[in-house]
């Protein structure tokens, strides 16, 4: 009997603890930078409001999203859920929105790594540092998911410890009066400017939690995903909410918070106020603080590579991007492709300038456009699948259904409207990228159908060959 050669596949090696490390690690750089741009719009008190609003959205989203990720454990994550609920076009919208989120987040993080290192060495070029980071961590991801996930867990734990150390070191300088001074968008009273500033700051509140859903893209590499994924997500979101609150309160209470807005390294600058420029504590924060940035950078590379892999495997991207390295069992071409795009984005400020925002703020906003679009589609997919497939196995059910997914959906729509209003030119960029991607999808749609037909024919041939014989793994 002939044998059908089996292509290399992703390997299941991840347990709950390492998945938690991925979930938190994907996000934890958001505690180190990015969020402080929100202060420049809303002030400290106004940003607390937008932060609380976004935190509620994420809490309800994660509890709802976990139902999807355990019911459909797929490397494509949101792409797979939307495709099952709404067909190929729904899959496209969710998949490419997620891809925008995960491809545009790493350049922002890489630039922040450069900014942190420039605190220690002022001669360092942040852009060159960012490219070096890409080369190192693309290589590490290619070497294997077990190595990559273990590294992610270690640096995530170190990053959490460092955030706690930061809070402890600056705590002697904690003054609530510093935090609330000019806290309503630069003024001491709530005004109409504060209201608009709160909405304008939403993308940077989202940065506190952006990409936590990426842990679902490791579903095909997780041991018993029906149990491990819920634990990772639930522990992860509570970890991040507590850290976000602590970082904001302690950083904003040590001096004039306005000096920390619009910069990529707010924590070292906040610590300087307490310990001075030459303190060993400051040097420790810079070096150990890099672990938080590296954890997210490394984790998001894992996320974008699995999304590219899944989209290519389904025919939405060139098929070559779905190839898995036979030695390391990782999607090496997908890892490299996302890295090339990220490096080009790092240098985009030399070609295109948007508004008065720094490059990092613009990159963060584009990534947020992708994430919010995906959140909306995912919650709609959950509601649709509850109606269309009531008998589908659901190892974890969203609590308080349909309240949680509806709250998350409504909050996400509000966020999207606010971000479009205050960043319309960047929204046009996002639409342009989606239009280009859809053009590729439209022109190659027949290939997707051909791939499905080829798979179905191959399965039929195998079943015919093994009919009447014991079913073994080698035959399949």
Question: pLDDT tens across 382-410, in order?
Answer: 999 999 999 988 988 999 999 999 999 99
Which tens digits make up the pLDDT trace of 16-72? 787 888 888 888 888 887 788 899 899 999 999 999 999 999 999 999 998 998 888
- The pLDDT assigned to 250 comes to 94
For the chain, the domains span 16-443
In the structure encoding, which two tokens stand for residue 374, read together?
């995906």
- 17-26, 67-76, 119-128, 166-175: which is most confident: 166-175
d(C-alpha 389, C-alpha 376), whole Å: 19
Mean of the per-residue pLDDT values of the chain: 82
Are residues 298 and 151 in contact, defined by beta-carbon separation less than 8 angstroms?
A: yes
- The pLDDT assigned to 292 comes to 77
**Whether pLDDT at 241 is above 60:** yes
pLDDT band at 453 (very low <50, low <70, confident <90, very high): low
pLDDT band at 474 (very low <50, low <70, confident <90, very high): very low
**Whether pLDDT at 459 is above 60:** no
d(C-alpha 293, C-alpha 33), whole Å: 9
118 or 373: which carries more pLDDT confidence? 373
- What is the average pLDDT across 185-195? 88
User: pTM score > 0.95 for this model?
Assistant: no
- What is the average pLDDT across 314-335? 81
d(C-alpha 14, C-alpha 146), whole Å: 7
- What is the average pLDDT across 401-426? 93
- What is the average pLDDT across 449-457? 56
Q: Which of 93, 24, 29, 100 is nearest to 62 (CA)?
A: 24
Which tens digits make up the pLDDT trace of 244-300? 999 999 999 998 899 888 877 788 888 888 887 777 777 777 776 777 788 788 878
Least confident of 5-19, 42-56, 206-220, 298-312: 5-19
d(C-alpha 73, C-alpha 403), whole Å: 24
Distances (CA, A) of 27 to 163, 183, 324, 420, 458: 13, 26, 26, 23, 41
With tokens 């070559």, the residue in question is 320
pLDDT band at 226 (very low <50, low <70, confident <90, very high): confident
pLDDT band at 128 (very low <50, low <70, confident <90, very high): confident
Beta strands in 255-411 (DSSP E): none
d(C-alpha 251, C-alpha 266), whole Å: 8
In the structure encoding, which two tokens stand for residue 469, read together?
């014989």
In the structure encoding, which two tokens stand for residue 200, read together?
């304008």
**Whether pLDDT at 473 is above 50:** no
In the structure encoding, which two tokens stand for residue 253, read together?
């209470």
- What is the average pLDDT across 140-146? 74
d(C-alpha 204, C-alpha 198), whole Å: 10
- The pLDDT assigned to 168 comes to 92
Query: 147-161 as b/e, with b when 16 or more CB fall inside 10 Å?
Result: ebbebbbebbbbbbe
Residue 374: CA count within 13 A, CB half-sphere: 33
d(C-alpha 225, C-alpha 69), whole Å: 8
- What is the average pLDDT across 121-133? 84
With tokens 């099952």, the residue in question is 84
In the structure encoding, which two tokens stand for residue 206, read together?
């989202």
Long-range pairs for 270-279: beta carbons < 8 A, 24 or more residues apart: 270/166, 270/170, 271/166, 271/169, 271/170, 273/170, 273/173, 274/169, 274/170, 274/172, 274/173, 275/169
d(C-alpha 363, C-alpha 23), whole Å: 21
Beta strands in 314-450 (DSSP E): none
pLDDT band at 417 (very low <50, low <70, confident <90, very high): very high
| Fold category of 16-443 in CATH | Amino acid/polyamine transporter I (1.20.1740)
Least confident of 159-163, 301-305, 351-355: 351-355
- The pLDDT assigned to 357 comes to 65
């Amino acid at each position: 009997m002939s044998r059908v050669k089996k292509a290399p596949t992703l390997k299941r090696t991840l347990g709950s603890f390492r998945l938690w490390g991925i979930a938190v690690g994907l996000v934890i750089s958001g505690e180190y930078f990015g969020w402080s741009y929100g202060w420049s719009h809303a002030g400290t008190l106004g940003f607390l409001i937008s932060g609380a609003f976004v935190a509620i959205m994420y809490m309800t989203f994660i509890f709802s999203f976990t139902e999807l990720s355990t019911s459909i454990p797929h490397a494509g994550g949101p792409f797979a859920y939307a495709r099952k609920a709404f067909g190929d076009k729904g899959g496209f919208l969710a998949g490419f929105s997620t891809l925008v989120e995960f491809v545009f987040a790493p350049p922002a993080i890489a630039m922040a790594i450069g900014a942190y290192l420039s605190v220690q060495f002022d001669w360092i070029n942040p852009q060159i540092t960012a490219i070096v980071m890409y080369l190192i961590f693309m290589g590490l991801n290619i070497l294997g998911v077990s190595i990559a996930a273990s590294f992610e867990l270690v640096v995530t734990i170190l990053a959490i410890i460092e955030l706690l150390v930061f809070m402890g070191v600056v705590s002697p300088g904690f003054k609530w009066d510093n935090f609330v001074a000019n806290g309503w968008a630069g003024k001491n009273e709530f005004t109409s400017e504060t209201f608009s500033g709160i909405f304008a700051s939403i993308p940077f509140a989202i940065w506190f939690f952006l990409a936590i859903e990426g842990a679902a893209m490791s579903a095909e590499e997780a041991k018993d995903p029906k149990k491990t994924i819920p634990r990772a997500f639930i522990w992860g979101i509570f970890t991040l909410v507590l850290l976000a609150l602590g970082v904001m309160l302690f950083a904003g209470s040590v001096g004039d918070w306005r000096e920390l807005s619009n910069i990529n390294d707010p924590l070292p600058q906040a610590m300087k106020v307490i310990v001075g420029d030459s303190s060993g504590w400051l040097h420790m924060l810079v070096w150990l603080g890099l672990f938080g940035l590296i954890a997210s950078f490394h984790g998001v590379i894992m996320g974008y590579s699995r999304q590219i892999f899944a989209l290519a495997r389904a025919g939405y991207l060139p098929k070559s991007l779905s190839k898995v390295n036979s030695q390391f069992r990782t999607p090496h071409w997908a890892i490299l492709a996302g890295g090339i795009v990220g490096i080009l984005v790092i240098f985009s400020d030399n070609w295109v300038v948007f508004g008065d925002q720094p490059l990092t703020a613009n990159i963060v906003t584009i990534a947020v456009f992708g994430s919010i679009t995906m959140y909306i589609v995912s919650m709609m997919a959950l509601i649709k699948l509850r109606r269309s497939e009531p008998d589908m196995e659901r190892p974890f059910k969203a609590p308080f259904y349909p309240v949680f997914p509806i709250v998350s959906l409504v909050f996400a729509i509000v966020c999207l409207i606010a971000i479009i209003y205050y960043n319309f030119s960047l929204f046009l960029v996002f639409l342009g990228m989606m239009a280009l991607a859809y053009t590729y999808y439209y022109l190659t749609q027949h290939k997707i159908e051909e791939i499905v037909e080829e798979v179905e024919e191959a399965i039929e041939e195998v079943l015919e060959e093994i009919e009447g014989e014991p079913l073994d793994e080698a035959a399949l």
